[in-house]
Amino acid sequence: MTPPSSLSLAAPQGGAGGGPAQPDPRLGLIGLRAEGLRVEYDGFVAVDNVSFELAPGESFGIVGESGSGKSTVLRALCGLAPLASGNVRLTGGDALPAPGSKAFRRQVQMVFQDPYGSLHPRQTVDRLLAEPLAIHGVGDAEARIERALDEVGLGTGFRFRFPHQLSGGQRQRIAIARALILEPQVLLLDEPTSALDASVQAEVLNLLEALRQARGLSFVMVSHDLAVVTHLCQRLMVMQRGRTVETLPAADLAASRVQADYTRSLMQASAGFRRTPGALPAHGI
C-alpha cells in the first residue's frame, strides 16, 4: 500500500466549484450504503460483490486477515480504489453529495493505519491541518486548528512541531485531527491503532469513541483485531479473500454466537496460543 500524502483525500479533482462547502454538518447524521462493490487490479479481484449499510450515527467494523480486501473496501468507499462495479451512496438526508464530488470528500474523511507514513515529514502540524481547510475554502483556519488540536487532547503547544518530534500516539491524534477539521460526518478508519502500543491504543480508542459521541459521527473501521472492532463497533462484517463471510452484531460475536467456521477460527486465534495436549513440555527433557 502506498503511503498517502496529506492531500490524497482532500485533493480537488475539478468538478464542484469553490466557496464554502455545504451541507451544514449540524443538519443531521449521515450514513452510507455500499452495494455490490467490486474492485479489480489487472484481472485480480480484490473485492467481490461486497454490500453493507452504515446507519446514520452507527459504527461499523470490517474484520479480516491480510489480503481479505478489507482495506480495499474502505479505499473504494472514498474513491481511492477504482470501482469496477457497484456504487456508494450517502444516506440520512436530502440532497447529499455524490461520490467523487468535493462536497462528498468533505463529509467522508479517512484516518490511515500508519501514523509514521501518513503525515508529510517536512510539514509542521500547523501546515498539515491548514491544508484541508485551504483546499475546501474554509475560513477561520486559526481558530479551527486550535480547536482541532484541543479536541484530540494535544493542545496548541504541538502546533509548530514536525511529525518526527511526536510519538506514534501523538501522530495518530494529528491524523485524526486532520480528518475531523473539515467536520465530516463519516470517518473511515483503516487500522487506526495497529501501529501503536497497547496502552496508547487504549487512549486512541477512547478518543475516537468520545469524538463519535460528541459529534454524532458514523464510523467504518477496518481492523484485524476482533477485540478492537467489537469494542468500538456495533455491527461488523467478516471478510475473506475479497468476499463477505458474514455480517453480525458485535454483541453476538462477543457472546460467540457466530455462523461461519471462518469467524470461529478467527475468534480462537485471537484468544492466544493453545498447546495441543500431545505436545512435549519444553522442560520435560
Strands (E), 150-266: 186-190, 218-223, 235-240, 243-249
Task: Choose which of 198, 214, 261, 277 interacts with other proteins (CB under 8 A).
Answer: 198
Nearer to other proteins, 63 or 133 (CB): 63
Q: Is 199 in the site for other proteins (CB under 8 A)?
A: yes
Binding part of the chain for other proteins, among 81-89, 99-107, 151-159, 253-261 by CB under 8 A, reads 253-261
Q: Is 228 in the site for other proteins (CB under 8 A)?
A: yes
Task: Choose which of 17, 26, 214, 275 interacts with other proteins (CB under 8 A).
Answer: 275
DSSP line for 103-147:
HHHHHEEEE-S-TTTSS-TTS-HHHHHHHHHHHTT---HHHHHHH
Nearest to 260 by CA among 236, 227, 229: 236
Q: Is 165 in the site for other proteins (CB under 8 A)?
A: no
Burial-class residue 31 by CB neighbours within 10 Å (0-12, 13-18, 19+): buried
Q: Is 258 in the site for other proteins (CB under 8 A)?
A: no
Q: Residue 2 is placed in which grid cell?
A: 502506498
Binding part of the chain for other proteins, among 16-24, 34-42, 149-157, 200-208 by CB under 8 A, reads 200-208
Query: How far apart are CB 265 and other proteins at their closest, in Å?
Result: 6
Q: Which amino acid type is present at position 231?
A: H
Tell me which residue has cell 461520490.
Answer: 99
CA dihedral 88, 91, 97, 99 (to 10 degrees): -10
Binding part of the chain for other proteins, among 18-26, 44-52, 119-127, 267-275 by CB under 8 A, reads 267-275
For the chain, first and last CA: distance in Å?
46
Nearest to 175 by CA among 234, 223, 131: 131
Q: Is 246 in the site for other proteins (CB under 8 A)?
A: no
Q: Is 95 in the site for other proteins (CB under 8 A)?
A: no
Task: Choose which of 23, 168, 216, 249 interacts with other proteins (CB under 8 A).
Answer: 168
Rounded Cα distance, 127 and 120, in Å: 10
Task: Choose which of 1, 7, 27, 210 interacts with other proteins (CB under 8 A).
Answer: 210
Query: How far apart are CB 117 and other proteins at their closest, in Å?
Result: 15
Q: Is 86 in the site for other proteins (CB under 8 A)?
A: no
Assess contact for 94 and 27: CB atoms under 8 A.
no
Nearer to other proteins, 165 or 270 (CB): 270
Q: Is 214 in the site for other proteins (CB under 8 A)?
A: no
Backbone angles phi, psi at 157, to 5 degrees: -60, -20
For other proteins, the binding residues (CB under 8 A) are 65-66, 168, 197-199, 201-203, 205-206, 209-210, 224-228, 230-232, 253-256, 265-267, 269-276, 279-285
